[in-house]
Copies of this chain bind each other. A is one copy, B any other.
């Protein structure tokens, strides 16, 4: 375990950043354009852009630019990002089984902030 600690902690820090899980969740459905994600997620464009940049830096997300007119930009999970599928699935299962309505209500009050 001692050997694993720093890697594990690094991964936990990454997922723990607010909305990162949700962005990954979105991209597990397939490549998406920015505007599409902006519509589907309850966060601001600025924040979405920040998170995508961070995930790009971590080599989890790839930004693909297609030289069409108008230019088309898509975000897609890399192999490293796709490998997160089991993690996301398990967290989803756990949340569905164990996170209560009350906890969700508390979180909702908190939603409009970053």
Please give the residue numbers on chain A whose beta carbons come within 8 Å of chain B beta carbons, in ascending order.
1, 4-13, 15-22, 25, 42, 80, 83-84, 86-87, 90-99, 103-104, 107-108, 111
Q: How many copies does the complex hold?
A: 2
Main SS class of interface, A: helix
Q: How far is the CA of A20 from the CA of B91 in the complex (A)?
A: 15
Chain B residues within 8 Å of A17, by CB: 16
Instruction: Please name 14 further chain A to chain B contacts, defined as beta carbons within 8 Å, in addition to the given A12-B91, A15-B91, sorted by A numbering.
Output: A5-B42, A6-B108, A6-B111, A7-B99, A7-B103, A8-B22, A9-B18, A9-B22, A9-B107, A11-B21, A12-B16, A12-B20, A16-B20, A87-B91
Q: Which residues of B contact A80 (CB under 8 A)?
A: 98
Asked if residues A18 and B13 are in contact (CB atoms below 8 Å), the reply is yes
- In the complex the two chains form, what is the Cα distance from A13 to B86 in whole Å? 18
Q: How far, in whole Å, are A20 and B92 apart by their CA atoms in the complex?
A: 18
